[in-house]
Amino acid sequence: MRRVHRKHTEILYVFDLCVHSFPQQSVNKNYFSVPMEKICNLLPAISSLFTEREDLIKDIDKYQKKLHKFEGIERTGENLAKMAKHQVQLDTSAARLKVVDVLINRDLKELTLRTEVFLCRILKAHLNWEYQSSVVSVEADTKLAELFCNASRTGSLATLETEMNNQLSELRKLPLTRRG
């Protein structure tokens, strides 16, 4: 259970990182939270199935050892009854192990599908963020080019300085984003 809690915490950390890394105008918190919630709801069930599977394997091994111990003993009524009891317990545990394996297989497929949805959303948001960053970079480059074009056309040094200060203040107002 401790492993699941740690994984759950790591997933929530990634979730928070993703939500806060992307611009608010393109991604809202629900965009990531719905698939993340579905993933987090599956993790405890899968963990408990694996724990149950480990316990069943130990039980099966224990019952097989007990049955093997009875093979060399005289076959009296009491020994046959104990042997039959252990055989029933072994068969029950083996059947339950098969059921647990099917459930694990089903839940792991479900987890994979839900994780794919979540990762696709992260990728889409990242690509959108990259595109927006590129657009802002092009706008900044265009403003700089205009600044230098206008500067070469102006005659006096004071006019050039005023024009450059105005253009630089406009550049500082642009919503530049950091590229990763």
How far apart, in whole angstroms, are the C-alpha atoms of residue 37 and residue 34? 5
> pTM of the prediction?
0.53
Given a contact cutoff of 8 angstroms between Cβ atoms, the answer to whether 150 and 163 are in contact is yes
Q: Could you tell me the two tokens for 19? A: 């939500």
Which residues are CB-contacts of 27 (< 8 A; sequence separation ≥ 6)?
19, 125, 128
CB count within 10 Å of CB 62 equals 14
- Domains of the chain, by residue range, sit at 2-132
Tens place of pLDDT per residue across the chain (180 aa): 444 455 445 444 444 544 454 444 445 667 777 778 888 888 888 899 999 999 999 999 999 998 888 887 777 888 888 888 989 999 999 999 999 999 999 998 988 888 888 888 888 877 877 787 777 777 777 776 766 666 556 566 677 677 777 877 777 776 655 554
CB count within 10 Å of CB 111 equals 16
The gap from C-alpha 21 to its chain's centroid, in whole angstroms, comes to 16
How far apart, in whole angstroms, are the C-alpha atoms of residue 22 and residue 128? 9
